[in-house]
Structure 1
Amino acid sequence: MSPTLDRLLKWTCGAVSALALFGIMWLMLFDVIGRKYFNQSIPGALEITEILMVVVIFGALPLVSWRGEHIVFDSLDGVVPRALKGLQHRVVHLLCAGTFAFLGLQLLKRAERFAEYGEVTAHLGLALAPVAWLMAALLGATALVHLLFVVQLPPGALEHVAHTPELPE
């Protein structure tokens, strides 16, 4: 596939996820030190951790899909004829694209409601709408990755086909 798109996803989604995970690490370190030695935790640490976990998970989705590093159940691969493997992969990616797009649209609607009602976190009062918008955008990016794979299968998508035994006719 495209090395440019690979770099773009790596330096956007990958970097954002890595920085959020790095932030969680330091936040937890200082929160534990504060509790142990100063009898004082960081105010809102749980809320910040939850938001950063959302960034880690949803930020990694497009990159994981792009690189094919997600969990794959191949229990039916033994019964699908080799001639249909390409079609099978395309149908799966189309279903994934539709699912991620649908979830992104639902989250976009939720984000609009959050913005309309002024939803904020309980302790720090951080606005929830931007977080939901980010989640929706990353779900949309994941849907686009899968949609691209409907048109052009990723490299190695059919490499295990040679190892799949042909069913007797």
Structure 2
Amino acid sequence: MLTFLDRALRWSSGLMAAIALFAIMWLTLADVTGRKFLSHSVPGGLELTEVLMVVVIFGALPLVSLRSEHVVFDTLDAFVPAWFKGLQARLVHLICAGMFAFMAKLMVQRADRFSEYGDVTLHLQLPLSPVAWLMAAFLLVTALVHLLFLVMPLTATQADEPTGEGSAS
């Protein structure tokens, strides 16, 4: 189940985030080159970078949660009894699921308001509501990932500590 979900998220949100990061890289190269040699930057380059950063950050959230690669504060782990670690992991997943779902709800409300008011970016006049809806969708997927961990049997690594490369152990 988790390998299927990992593969699905990698090929959806992960690929989307990777393409956005690649686009930011090329946009920055074009912008700096244009400023240096042509005395002109890419029109709306900053706005495009901001929108693409939303895709990078929020697109990576479900994958980071699925792989337990969040930054970890584990200084007190030596003092936590082994019997409590499973309960602690489930409590953390419950809190995370609730917070991500709440943030998704807030982003949907904000997206509706953006749509109602017709809010757009300043220079390129890009509508803001699709960006906010995308953020809400990624937040909701992240909440669902945490809910999945809440109902699944815990493995030793989930109960103890994350083993991903991104952990700050």
Partner Cα distance (1:122, 1:154) in 2: 49
Structure 2 unaligned runs (5+)?
162-169
Residue 119 (structure 1) aligns with: 119
The equivalences for 1:5-154 within 5 A come to 5-152=5-152, 153=154
Residue 157 (structure 1) aligns with: 158
Q: Which has the larger radius of gyration?
A: 1
Aligned length: 160
Contact 2:85 2:160 in 1 (8 A): no
Letter of the 2:95 counterpart: L
1:87, CA displacement in angstroms?
A: 0.7
Contact 2:65 2:146 in 1 (8 A): yes
Residue 167 (structure 1) aligns with: none
- In the superposition, the TM-score normalised over structure 1's length comes to 0.91
Alpha-carbon distance change, 112 to 154 in structure 1, aligned in 2, over 3 angstroms: farther
- In the TM superposition, what whole-angstrom CA distance separates every residue of 1:57-114 from its partner, at most 9, and x where no partner exists? 0000000000011111123322321111111100000000000000110011000000
Partner Cα distance (1:155, 1:132) in 2: 37
Structure 1 unaligned runs (5+)?
161-169
Larger mean Cα displacement after TM superposition, 15-24 or 74-83: 74-83
1:154, CA displacement in angstroms?
A: 5.4
Partner Cα distance (1:147, 1:76) in 2: 25
Letter of the 1:125 counterpart: Q
